[in-house]
Amino acid sequence: MMSRRSLLSAAALSSLAAACSPLQALNGLNRLTPGDGGVRQLVDSAAFGSDPRQRLDVWAPKHAEGKRPVIVFFYGGSWNSGLKEGYGFAARALAARGFVVVVPDYRLVPQVRWPGFVEDGAAAVKWTLANIAAHGGDPARVAVMGHSAGAHIALLLALDRRWGVADQIKAAVGLAGPYDFLPFTAGGAADAALGNATDLNDTQPIHFARKDAPLLLLLHGGKDTTVLARNSIRLANAVTDLGGKAEVRVYPDVTHIGILLALSKPFRGKATALSDASHFLAAALAP
């Protein structure tokens, strides 16, 4: 059972999530929820580029023996908002399950448009491959994971070899990701971020489905009206139709933000996203 403090935190966060922006809610999540134990932050704002937004944090389990599997986690925010500091709850949750977790910031709209944020994602993965061994991670066992726009970035990096890291990524987990979402709504967030692309198909992860793709797990909420679950279903079908391996899990009563909140202790009863992702990645990144 949850403690009185945990119950109060969950109630406060439910109200916060309903009343505030997603970013405010996530900052509240870090302040109010009980954290996962046995975890430490090893790196605070290491630079992987020259821009102030090109910084990352590294979290890891305490007292871990040997080199641990690695997750690079990309947060969402419509390609125009987000701070890594708001996602410590997600990093702690994954690190408590035995992973070294890298959480990068990346440049946002309007500072950049396509493909600036994907280039930053690739740079963060390259930093990880080059440096994570010094922080207890195994550079031969790296996965990417993301929520919403972060899942879009993660799956592009995993599938499209043009970014230079796809062959080093062993697995990918997407939470509520947009993977097949043309045409863009005129003036919407996707149009603002991606509408400048010479070929709009280049912005769609589904166009890079391939037989030899990394192992994929695509998780989605059935009540997600921001990014419809058909994005995950179509991408998984495109990969499996080619002979690759991809799984989809749709949680019937979960919303777009709810699938992310389910990584946090008070909301884990809403969806098994954390355990599903952790078990999948532990198997996919086994030595």
- 137 in a structural domain: yes
Could you tell me if residue 254 is inside a domain?
yes
| 80-133: pLDDT as tens digits | 999 999 999 999 999 999 999 999 999 999 999 999 999 999 999 999 999 999
**How much helix, strand and coil, in percent to the nearest 5, is found in the chain?**
40, 20, 35
Span 188-212, pLDDT tens digits: 999 999 999 999 999 999 999 999 9
Contact 241, 196 (CB under 8 A): no
Residue 22 has pLDDT above 60, yes or no: no
pLDDT at 31: 58
Q: Report which of 284, 285, 287, 114 is spatially closest to residue 184, judged by C-alpha positions.
A: 114
Comparing 10-24, 33-47, 76-90, 168-182, the range with the smallest average pLDDT is 10-24
Report if residue 15 sits inside a domain.
no
CATH of the domain at 177: 3.40.50.1820
Its domain, for residue 263, covers 38-284
CA triplet 218, 141, 243: central angle to 5 degrees?
A: 45
> Given a cut of 80, is residue 35 above it in pLDDT?
no
Residues linked to residue 221 through DSSP beta bridges, in sequence order:
251
Taking only the tens place, the pLDDT of each residue in 142-192 is 999 999 999 999 999 999 999 999 999 999 999 999 999 999 999 999 999
Q: Tokens standing for 145? A: 């994971």
Residue 48 lies in a domain: yes
Average pLDDT over all residues of the chain: 91
Q: Evaluate whether residue 8 is within a structural domain.
A: no
Q: What are phi and psi of 231, to 5 degrees?
A: -60, -45
**Residue 15 predicted with pLDDT over 60:** no
Condensed to tens digits (0 to 9), the pLDDT of residues 257-275 reads 999 999 999 999 999 999 9
The domain tally of the chain equals 1
SS3 169: strand
Q: What is the pLDDT of residue 2?
A: 38
- How far apart (Å, rounded) are the C-alpha atoms in residues 34 and 125? 29
Q: What is the rounded average pLDDT of the residues 36-56? A: 95
Task: Look at the alpha carbons of 138, 129, 122, 84 in this order and tell me if their dihedral is positive or negative.
Answer: positive
User: Residue 23: which pLDDT band, with cuts at 50, 70 and 90?
Assistant: low
Residue 37 binned pLDDT confidence (cut-offs 50, 70, 90): confident
The answer to pTM > 0.85 is: yes
Identify the band that residue 64 occupies on the pLDDT scale cut at 50, 70 and 90.
confident
Residue 246's contacts (CB-CB under 8 Å, 6 or more residues apart) are 213, 215, 216, 217, 218, 235, 236, 239, 240
* Sign of the CA dihedral running 173, 279, 94, 19: positive
**182 versus 13: which is more confidently predicted?**
182
Does 52 map to a domain?
A: yes
266 domain-assigned: yes
Q: 206 and 230 in contact (C-beta within 8 Å)? A: no
Within a domain: residue 5?
no
